Structure 1
Amino acid sequence: MSKKALCIGINDYPGTQNDLSGCVNDANDWAAELGSHGYTVTKMLDGQATHAAMTAAIGSLIKSAVNGDTLVITYSGHGTWVPDSSGDEPDGRDEGLCPWDIGSVGPLLDDQIHQMFDARAAGVRILLLSDSCHSGSVTRGREDDLDPGQPRARFMPLEAWMPANELPQASTRPPHLVGGLKRSGGDLLLSGCLDTQYSWDTSFKGRPNGAFTYYALKTLHENKPANYEAWFKAIRTYLPSTKLPQDPQILGSATARRFKVFA
């Protein structure tokens, strides 16, 4: 039985004017945390995280896993969407992760991720932690650690990377900007926000991070939760907040939610 992780962080998006600040720190932080739990970790940062490289790395991770193995994939970067061409999305859009070279090859879509996850061997557990995307409402939450003048949304508008002649007509665009990764598959998805929200890129105590990543790791250390459901509830004591209007989500079976964190 082995434990392997892939941690992806992209701040640099050439040609888009949509660079971020905290994603590489997120990836390094997740890698350190997972390493402390006995995971063999591979990192992909900025220019390493091309569409082809991300696809190959995720595919290789899953292909090499056998019954009893646990895989964790973390992604910090922009999220985006494209019009759904297969008719399998109720909101009319396919959601995706934005690789470093999105301007030339487009996003890694949820349908593609789902296909890769479906190729896993029986008995292989997969956890996806996504700190990307999405726009929402203001509620509660503690903001003690948040630096002044922050945050910034981790959403890549179509106009930033899609050729003008390929942009969908405004009348056919969905009312919300981007969705989540519900179709990604795996046992558990922990994501930074609702389908209709953004995840925020910000800084805490002078250090850039994603809000979801920061509070996920903060609560993991403070609360030492027994399982993923308890961890998720602890994160929700911080998010959403007035300046960080994002509702973290947990998707997975009742059994998977009771898995011991990073076991």
Structure 2
Amino acid sequence: MKLALCIGINDYPGVDNDLTGCRNDADDWAAALGNRGFEIRKLVDSAASGAAIRTGIRDLLGRATSGDAVVITYSGHGTWVPDRDGDESDHRDEALCPHDIAVNGPLVDDELFTLFERAAPGVRTVLISDSCHSGTLTRLNRPIGDHRRPSRFLPPSTFLSPAEATRAGARPPLRAKPRSAALLLAGCKDSEYSYDASFNGRPNGAFSYVALTTLTELPESATYRDWLRAIRAQLPSQDFPQTPALQATAAQLAWPLLS
């Protein structure tokens, strides 16, 4: 089986940090993966609560068996929370921001690792995230053109108490961070922004647009490294100074691209 969950969140109630291109990203990823034979489920805006995202990932991985492929695409805000277990060199855990983050908090990378770890042996799990993965940065609104909107952050103070936010200054002893059970293709490095953009008058994430455009130009024999190389030929750019990143084990790099 080939199973995909495509998540896109423009609307963040309770905070003044809405985005514009994430639902289009989810639609575009769903179309591209559907053309490659994936069974698609989408979660957008209010449907993409933290509980729904967790349940969606569990359901896909629960159905998948050895030889199956599971792809999760996420387009929305990223943020950080203070690292509590000492596995982050910057003492911050990166996190995704569900629609209901203001009420129920983020989805932290440690929990994502635990979710992906449940996959049966031999399942090829891929996470494609068009969001910021840094402890101090978030996805921005910045369309191409002369009328650029101000940058908007989603800082931890949006959903953490002042006491919790200040814990990021603590320095717990580092421990080894486990390797992810999923291959990760990210829109930027931990220390960078990911950007909202507009292409031909249609909002998209800069990374999602470039990744999907280059995907159509790759040969069937292409690898994830080939895909990253093609994306990096266009990003970073003067308009979008973000460097897409690939995190994978040697075994994961041998997986067939999106199949």
Give me the TM-score of the superposition, normalised by structure 1: 0.86
Aligned equivalent of 2:138: none
Structure 1's 207 and 94: CA in aligned 2 closer, same or farther, altered over 3 A? Answer: same
Q: For the aligned residues, what is the CA RMSD? A: 2.3
Aligned equivalent of 2:159: 161
- The separation in 2 between residues aligned to 1:257 and 1:33, in whole angstroms, is 21
Aligned equivalent of 2:200: 205
Deviates more, 1:253-262 or 1:196-205: 253-262
- The separation in 1 between residues aligned to 2:248 and 2:38, in whole angstroms, is 22
Secondary structure of the 1:123 match is coil
- The separation in 1 between residues aligned to 2:109 and 2:179, in whole angstroms, is 5
Aligned equivalent of 1:141: none
Structure 1's 10 and 199: CA in aligned 2 closer, same or farther, altered over 3 A? Answer: same
Aligned equivalent of 1:65: 64
Indicate whether 1:194 and 2:189 are aligned: yes
Unmatched 5+ stretches in structure 1: 136-144, 175-181
Indicate whether 1:228 and 2:224 are aligned: yes
Aligned equivalent of 2:235: 239
AA paired with 2:180?
A: G
Aligned residues: 245
AA paired with 2:181?
A: G
For residues 148-189 of structure 1, give each alpha carbon's deviation from its aligned partner in whole angstroms, at most 9, with x where no partner exists: 44477685211233334543168x289xxxxxxx96823411
- State the percentage of identical aligned residues: 50
Deviates more, 1:94-103 or 1:59-68: 59-68
- The separation in 2 between residues aligned to 1:15 and 1:24, in whole angstroms, is 19
Structure 1's 108 and 169: CA in aligned 2 closer, same or farther, altered over 3 A? Answer: closer
AA paired with 1:10?
A: I
AA paired with 2:38?
A: Y
Structure 1's 20 and 94: CA in aligned 2 closer, same or farther, altered over 3 A? Answer: same
Secondary structure of the 1:7 match is strand
Query: Is this contact kept in 2: 1:146–1:203, CA < 8 A?
Result: yes
Secondary structure of the 1:239 match is coil
AA paired with 1:194?
A: K
Unmatched 5+ stretches in structure 2: 135-142, 172-176
4+ runs deviating over 3 angstroms: 145-155, 163-166
- The separation in 2 between residues aligned to 1:152 and 1:66, in whole angstroms, is 46
- The separation in 1 between residues aligned to 2:84 and 2:191, in whole angstroms, is 20
- The separation in 2 between residues aligned to 1:40 and 1:242, in whole angstroms, is 37
- The separation in 2 between residues aligned to 1:237 and 1:132, in whole angstroms, is 19
Structure 1's 112 and 169: CA in aligned 2 closer, same or farther, altered over 3 A? Answer: closer
